[in-house]
Amino acid sequence: MGKKLTSGPFFVPLSLDGTSSGSVDFLLIGFKNLADEESTVNLSVLVCRDPFLYPGISPEVPVPITISTGTYTELPIDIPAGSCTVVKVDAGQGTFQGNNMLRVTLEGDLDEDGEGVVVALSGGKTDGRTAVSMVFKHDDFIELDD
């Protein structure tokens, strides 16, 4: 299908400001297609809901991604040349919450040299505050072997 990238694991903070109402509301994953043709990327978000201290083990499971056309564990995204789009994954009991460990994986027409899709992600609150620990630029992603 193409290149595979991962954000690497990162933690969702319990609160952005130390209060019970400061929890993260959503994860945003932005895509920009720099290619001269339509590109496709498959998106998955994975979560360890109860990260235990070693030797405890927590399984990594897919987060459901709900958009207007349905709910997916792997979302295929078609992006026309020169276009961009953002996928929003809301925090909650069935997706992710504070102190969960997330990882975003991508596979498809991805490229560091400006000939494919580039990606960035962040987490935050509806009031505009961003969780700094949840910000990844395209260069922060790790390429996976096939």
Q: Average of pLDDT values for 24-52?
A: 93
Q: What is the pLDDT of residue 48?
A: 94
Q: What is the pLDDT of residue 23?
A: 94
pLDDT digits (tens, 9 = 90+) for 51-79: 788 888 889 999 999 999 999 999 999 99
At residue 112, does pLDDT exceed 70?
A: no
At residue 80, does pLDDT exceed 80?
A: yes
**DSSP labels, the chain:** --EEEE---EEPPS-SSSSTT----EEEEEEEE-SSS-EEEEEEEEEESSPPPTT-----EEPPEEETTEEESSEEEEE-TT-EEEEEEE-STTS--TT-EEEEEEEESB-TTSSSEEEEEEEE-TTS-EEEEEEE-GGG-EEEP-
At residue 81, does pLDDT exceed 90?
A: yes
Handedness of CA 30, 35, 38, 39 (dihedral sign): negative
Q: What is the pLDDT of residue 77?
A: 95
- Give the residue carrying structure tokens 């276009």: 83
